[in-house]
Structure 1
């Protein structure tokens, strides 16, 4: 079988979405995406230099997207997202796709951050044996594990009161840039995290169609009125359209280090879940680094979240010589 490899364009979004969802029907990773979701990813990508499609005639056999970071520090960890259509698997296409994406990551990295080391990374769902075998054969190693957790938003939700000295307000009550700086500070010590620029924060939240400000809340220090904690939520229509389940996705949750250990995060999350139930959501979901040193996993478990699946972040240091 002869394949034609070329960069993707926005005209390929329907084909990429169809391929992705055909693969999801087989792989059952729980990640459901629409054309609108891919349009957002394509909008952030350098398609001529950071994308690739493998075409068998008029059929898209595989695709890849390369996602550099705007403002990396210490190490530039570039994400590789790719998929081979189930009808074209076990023909060596993945073994050709991944090196192409690594090469693109290297070129984009050298153009933007040549002084930093580069790691090409890709997320693999822990039950995807073929994907696990592929990345291992190419020299990628498992760097981190992330639990994807869920909780049904029923009457049995845990109710955690906010401790004295703090209050909860809607996201709209604060300046978004103040929230961005608090988010950056709260995640400063998290593995793989980099400070979000105003543009990145806007793309992820304030300007994103997936951001749900009506179910996003802030914790304030009552004495100063300063933002010290946050829950920033998202909603993905494709999940409800394909499963019938309306899911509130907890995109970011955190508190500043000096306010941890007092129950602020648990109370803020509990409040958000209750409001989500009132707004018609059936369940909430989130992702957590299993090695997170702030005790986040315990916060989620106490609020009723259970592990639904586990993702592994595989990394490959790239030679820049």
Structure 2
């Protein structure tokens, strides 16, 4: 089977989305993406230097993207995303695609962060046996595990009280920069977290079409932001499953305000508002080794584990 390799272009977005969702129909990872979602990720990727299309007879058999971080500290963890169409699996394409993506990552990393250690990484859903076998065969190791949690939205959810001395208010664009700075501080000690630049923050939340400000809330203490819940909505999930899901993108509280019920109050307000707005389910992802006991907060709010993901990493020499 002759393979043709070339960088992706924005013209490939429809076929990449079609390939991805054909694979999702087989893999059932729960990660559904639309053409619009791929347009966002393509917009933040160096397509000429950090992407690959794998063609067989003119048909897209696989693709890959290299995702850099804006402000890496210590070690630059570069994410490799990609997929092989189910009709072309077990032909060794993945074994050739992933090393090529690693080389692209090495080149981009060396140009932008010379001298900094590089680790390439990729997320794998625990039931994807073929994906697990591929990354382990190439020497990747399981660095971290994440639970994907879900809760049905409805009147049965308990309402957590707002702790004394705090106020829960709707997200305001006027506080956007303040929230970004609080987020960077709140997650500074979290594994794999790096400071989000204004550009990366905007792409993730405030200018993203997926951001839902009306179900996002802030916790104030003496008028200053000390915590937040920021929510997203991916229409493709509803289109393909019939379930309107509210995705909890980030939940954070400054360290000195933890353990007082701030996060629980924020989350409770978001879930209640989500139910009122017609969302049927809420979902989020949490590091199983999160040092802030976040998993307990989510479980008390009614969330249960739906899936487990593993962040596989491989150190790469310059």
Q: Structure 2-normalised TM-score?
A: 0.99
Instruction: For residue 154 of structure 1, report the CA deviation from its aligned partner.
Output: 1.5
Structure 1 residues 173 and 35: CA distance shift in structure 2, 3 A: closer
Q: Deviations over 1:18-70 (max 9, x none)?
A: 10000000000000000000000001000000000100112100000000101
1:192 and 2:192 aligned: yes
For residue 265 of structure 1, what is the aligned residue in structure 2?
263
- 1:20 and 2:2 equivalent? no
Runs of 4+ in 1 over 4 A off after TM superposition: none
Superposition pairs of residues 52-91 of structure 1, within 5 angstroms: 52-91=52-91
Inter-partner Cα distance in structure 2 for 1:239 and 1:231 = 21
CA deviation after TM superposition for structure 1 residue 115, in Å? 2.0
Q: CA RMSD in A?
A: 0.7
State the SS of the aligned residue for 1:175.
helix
Per the TM alignment, residue 174 of structure 1 is displaced from its structure 2 partner at its CA by 4.5
Alpha-carbon separation, structure 1, partners of 2:160 and 2:48: 49
Note if 1:307 corresponds to 2:305.
yes
Deviations 1:139-183 (CA, angstroms, capped at 9, x unpaired): 000000000000000221121001100011111175210000000
- 1:265-299 CA distance string (max 9 Å, x none): 01110111000000000000000000000000000
1:313 and 1:173 map into 2 onto residues whose CA distance is 32
Instruction: Report SS of the residue matched to 2:29.
Output: coil
Q: Which residue of 2 aligns with 1:293?
A: 291
How far apart are the structure 1 equivalents of 2:177 and 2:316? 34
Which residue pairs with 1:30 in the alignment?
Answer: 30
Gaps of 5+ in 1: none
Alignment of 1:218-297 (within 5 A): 218-221=218-221, 224-297=222-295
Task: Name the counterpart of 1:182.
Answer: 182
Whole-Å Cα distance in 2 between the matches of residues 114 and 141 of structure 1?
24
1:22 aligned counterpart, secondary structure: helix
1:214-235 Cα offsets, whole Å, 9 max, x none, are 11100000xx200000000000
| Distance in 1 between residues matched to 2:237 and 2:126, nearest whole Å | 21
The answer for unaligned runs of 5 or more in structure 2 is none
**Aligned length, in residue pairs:** 318
Aligned to 1:217: 217
Q: Distance in 1 between matches of 2:172 and 2:225?
A: 12
Structure 2 Cα separation of the partners of residues 113 and 181 of structure 1: 23
State the distance in 1 between where 2:169 and 2:198 align: 22
Describe the SS at the equivalent of 2:2.
Answer: coil
- Which residue matches 1:95? 95
Q: Give the structure 2 partner of residue 41 of structure 1.
A: 41
User: What's the TM-score, normalizing by structure 1?
Assistant: 0.98
